[in-house]
Chain A
Amino acid sequence: AQSVTQLGSHVSVSEGALVLLRCNYSSSVPPYLFWYVQYPNQGLQLLLKYTSAATLVKGINGFEAEFKKSETSFHLTKPSAHMSDAAEYFCAVSEPGGYQKVTFGIGTKLQVIP
């Protein structure tokens, strides 16, 4: 069985500060890992994904995440927060293969303080 734990349902950062959203996973096989972003009143949008290639993955809007197998983590970071980054972020895990049943975390709401 696969699962995802997101630490912190709400995170507040100042504009220009480092963004760090934590995600730990559990999977019985080498996983695929994802971060999705959901802006207010919108659907989820893929931010970045890890599919067993490079462990440091770069996504849209300056976000990146590093797959650390030893820590079973896939934390999302951005060096400098922008007001437009305020949204809800979901970490997700799936098993490789043509049909991926994706398991999502509970989400972390990011607030950016001016």
Chain B
Amino acid sequence: GAGVSQSPSNKVTEKGKDVELRCDPISGHTALYWYRQSLGQGLEFLIYFQGNSAPDKSGLPSDRFSAERTGGSVSTLTIQRTQQEDSAVYLCASSPQAITSSYNEQFFGPGTRLTVL
């Protein structure tokens, strides 16, 4: 596709359930980011993938959060035992990420709105 896509667009789940959120980056983009957008909190960095390097997981808020990126393309963000405070919009972004470049624009998907009841 032409842009970053995310699925589902909306997810409603019950407290304690696990959820999986999917991100399809732009073809050829080697970098992929996950962010969480909560009301009044801006965008919170969660995790960053770059090619075959070990991901930067420094933004994951707890061990209930994990992410993987298969084949350097599609990524899945998994939240286990969801809590009400996990309710937010989860945004994915990809970037061409040429290491030799001084700047690499991030292209964002439309997000997944997660509601934990």
**Chain A interfacial positions (CB closer than 8 Å to B):** 9, 32, 36, 41-46, 49, 51, 90, 92, 96-107
Q: Are A98 and B104 in contact (CB under 8 A)?
A: yes
Contact A43:B98 (CB < 8 A) given known A90-B42, A100-B104, A106-B42: no
Question: How far is B41's CA from A106's CA once the two chains are assembled, in angstroms?
Answer: 5
The one of B31, B40, B41, B108 that contacts A44, using a Cβ cutoff of 8 Å: B108
Contact A99:B50 (CB < 8 A) given known A43-B91, A43-B108: yes
Main secondary structure of the interface of B (DSSP, over half): loop
Question: How far is B91's CA from A45's CA once the two chains are assembled, in angstroms?
Answer: 12
**Chain B: how many interface residues by the 8 Å CB criterion?**
28
Which B residues touch A32, using CB under 8 A?
103
Give the number of residue pairs across the A-B interface with Cβ within 8 Å: 58
Chain B positions 43-66 with a Cβ under 8 Å from a chain A Cβ? 43, 45, 48, 50, 56
Which B residues touch A107, using CB under 8 A?
42
Q: Are B91 and A44 in contact (CB under 8 A)?
A: yes
Which A residues touch B48, using CB under 8 A?
99, 101
Which residue on chain A has the smallest CB distance to residue B110?
A43
Q: Are A98 and B99 in contact (CB under 8 A)?
A: yes
Which A residues touch B104, using CB under 8 A?
98, 100
Main secondary structure of the interface of A (DSSP, over half): loop
Question: How far is B110's CA from A45's CA once the two chains are assembled, in angstroms?
Answer: 10
Q: Are B110 and A98 in contact (CB under 8 A)?
A: no
Q: Are A43 and B40 in contact (CB under 8 A)?
A: no
Q: Are A106 and B102 in contact (CB under 8 A)?
A: no
Q: Are A105 and B97 in contact (CB under 8 A)?
A: no
Which A residues touch B35, using CB under 8 A?
104
Question: How far is B54's CA from A73's CA once the two chains are assembled, in angstroms?
Answer: 35
Closest 8 A/B residue pairs (Cβ): A43-B108, A98-B99, A104-B43, A106-B42, A44-B108, A43-B110, A104-B42, A51-B103
